[in-house]
Amino acid sequence: MQNYSPEPPSLNQSVDEKLFRLLVANVKDYAIFMIDPNGCLMSWNPGATNIMTYREDEIIGKHITIFYTAKDAENNEPRNHLNKALTFSSFESEGWRVRKDGSAFWANVVFTTVYNDAGHLTGFAIIVRDITERKLQDQRREELNAELEKRVRENTKKIITNELRFRKLIENSYDGITLFDQNRHIIYRSISSEGITGWSNTARDGYEFTGLIHPDEKELVEQLFTDLLLNPSVPMVCSFRVMHKNGHYLWVECIFTNMLNDKSISAIVCNFRDITGRKNAEEEIRKKTAQVENILESITDGFIALDTNFCYTYANKKIGEMLGCTPESLIGRNVWEVFPKAVGSHTHKAFNAAMKKQQYICHQDYYAPLNLWQENHIYPSASGLSVFIRNITEKKMAELEREKITADLVRRNNDLEQFTYIISHNLRSPVANIKGLSDLLNCFDHTDPDCITTIDSLAQR
């Protein structure tokens, strides 16, 4: 099953894994995770645990093949899906997936490629939804349609009877149903279609089908119909915006099947539903991701996020400037492998203590290889550590300079006190000093030994 999408979204590496975790932590109904270019798990949200039943600590690093059936794995379906995502930038498929306990569920899976600022592939974002109930309903509907077809072929009376039954069924369907001829003219629309788009058959008469498609997706839909005509009986999934009768656009998810060759139908069948709410939620997540990213990239402190194995899941530009490297080069690497000389340091102990005790720690430390004084604010969570790192090297150097100046002043003060003491001591016997100097002057032009002795005595004094 192939998905046709508009121009590929431009995702920034900075939506790295940590931001992913922050934004999808409360999503329970969708499995949302990241994989690297080789298909190995890099992140895992609670919704993934809810659907797939694997805990994060036992699934990170595993290959996505673990979620596929043995037959699909043997047919190399995981790699085929990734290749299609690379080709179209995003790819949507449905199929059986396997939980931890071996049970299977029918999944809707969306693969989206993720590139960094340099345009290099960093992995894939994957959203998985359990639609087993819908699949069962589709199967029941297909079985019913098959039964109807069988009866139609049996005799004319049953054809009429089952056609009425079929019409009653689809008119009350939650999904909208539209039938097109090979020229894309609408030949049938269910009542539920009007409930979704607001258009009655009469109101739609003056509009071409593509005339109601959003301009950004017209080319996509044109290509879709071209492919439909070339691939009879192959269901094709597509999402696009269509104009509501009230003038606004709504997102619809459609399954088109070319059944022109089936004489009992002779039409292109479109089953569609309104997914505007889901699209709005996805857009809200994207906006919040951008907001968080802008905040983390604009702050003056360095910021890093580490998983429970102390591996980088996010690093902002400021930390790259402080460490002299690109933030992207840190992602996925263990912090103690990047900075081995920090093992055993105060920072090493603080990180481990915060993780173990699950409590906030603030401390200062000096990393000699980078001549860097840092002030770390460590915030733990069940998924790892969030650390704000402030460069306080200039502040520390100023403090050391002040300490040096203070020590010098203390030394000078001690010298001054000693000098004052000597002067004070000499001033206590001024007459003796004056007499000594007088005797010295009297002896100055003589070589009398007593004079020399007097001079030595005064010098010692």
Query: What would the pLDDT profile of 42-73 be if each residue is shown by its tens digit?
Result: 989 989 999 999 999 999 999 999 999 999 99
Output the six-digit token pair for 106.
């029918």
Q: How far lies 303's CA from each of 44, 294, 313, in Å?
A: 21, 12, 11
Query: What would the pLDDT profile of 381-433 be if each residue is shown by its tens digit?
Result: 999 999 999 998 888 888 877 878 877 777 777 767 776 767 666 666 555 55
The winner for highest mean pLDDT among 8-12, 83-87, 456-460 is 83-87
Of 157-166, 305-314, 426-435, least confident by mean pLDDT is 157-166
Percent of the chain with pLDDT over 90: 44
Question: pLDDT category, 141, cuts 50, 70, 90?
Answer: confident
For residue 261, report the phi and psi dihedrals to the nearest 5 degrees.
-80, -10
Whether residue 172 contacts residue 146, with contact meaning beta carbons closer than 8 Å, is answered with: no
Question: pLDDT category, 192, cuts 50, 70, 90?
Answer: confident
The winner for highest mean pLDDT among 81-90, 132-141, 291-300, 431-440 is 81-90
Q: Percentages helix, strand, coil for the chain, rounded to the nearest 5?
A: 50, 25, 25
Specify which residues 185 forms β-bridges with: none
Percent of the chain with pLDDT over 70: 79
Question: pLDDT category, 193, cuts 50, 70, 90?
Answer: confident
SS3 457: helix
Domains of the chain: 3-130 (3.30.450.20), 173-278 (3.30.450.20), 300-391 (3.30.450.20), 429-461 (no CATH)
Burial of 443 (0-12, 13-18, 19+ CB in 10 A): middle
Of 13-17, 20-24, 379-383, 398-402, least confident by mean pLDDT is 13-17
Amino acid identity for residue 8 in this structure:
P
Burial of 363 (0-12, 13-18, 19+ CB in 10 A): middle
Q: What is the pLDDT of residue 335?
A: 94
Query: What would the pLDDT profile of 82-134 be if each residue is shown by its tens digit?
Result: 999 999 999 999 999 999 999 999 999 999 999 988 889 999 999 999 999 98
Distance CA 93, CA 255 (A): 12
Q: What is the pLDDT of residue 10?
A: 42
Question: pLDDT category, 13, cuts 50, 70, 90?
Answer: very low
Alpha helices, DSSP H only, in 155-305? 156-171, 191-197, 201-204, 218-230, 276-298
Between 271 and 461, whose confidence is greater? Answer: 271
